[in-house]
Amino acid sequence: MKGNDQMKLSIETDVVEYIRNKMQAGDLIYLDFEDGDGPFANTGLSCRLDLSFRILLTPADYPVKGLEVYDETLVTALGPIKMKKSSARYLEDETQLVENKAMHTLQLKGKSGILATNIPVLRIDKVIAGGNSGKISGC
């Protein structure tokens, strides 16, 4: 991300609908860059060579321990989405979350092209706050 202004994340209407259908009332949303930092770190993924982002859904009463790494809030059509400020370097000032219609997967795109592919939407159980012994499930 370049510049000092807050990044803009626009989300295709179909993608908004897709994610909303997976959400439960009161869910919080995170755009997580898998860098091994934070309570949702999945060390099995953190050694990837490509950029690995995930959309994470948590209940509103999720324990806050470790969530301070999500120190940036993006205003989107889905509502506020938290992300790590450190992950902004891999995105552009104007980033889009879109569906790859051919593959039926989510992608992050910018003016320069595709930034990240195969963005999963995952629900996180409260059990894993502060550790990775809990359950992460695809929606």
67 falls in which pLDDT band (50, 70, 90)?
confident
First to last CA, the chain: 29
pTM above 0.85, yes or no: no
Residue-wise pLDDT tens digits, 69-87: 999 999 999 999 999 998 8
Percentage with pLDDT > 70 across the chain: 74
34 falls in which pLDDT band (50, 70, 90)?
confident
Kindly state the helix (H) or strand (E) to which residue 115 belongs, with its residue range.
Answer: strand 113-116
Average pLDDT, the chain: 83
Residue-wise pLDDT tens digits, 76-125: 999 999 999 988 888 999 999 999 999 999 999 999 999 999 999 999 87
Query: DSSP characters for 33-76?
Result: E-SS-STT--TTTTT-SS--EEEEEE-TT---TTGGG--EEEEE
* pLDDT over 80 at 51, yes or no: no
Q: Mean of the pLDDT values across residues 131-135?
A: 50
Angstrom distance (rounded) from CA 81 to CA 101: 23
Q: And the tokens for 115?
A: 């930034």
CB 77: neighbour CB atoms within 10 A? 16
* pLDDT over 70 at 28, yes or no: yes
Burial of 47 (0-12, 13-18, 19+ CB in 10 A): exposed
> At 102, is the secondary structure helix, strand, or coil?
coil
* Overall fold of domain 8-138: Hypothetical Protein Aq_1857; Chain: A; (2.60.300)
Where do the domains of the chain lie? 8-138
Name the residue among 71, 73, 59 with its Cα closest to residue 129. Answer: 59
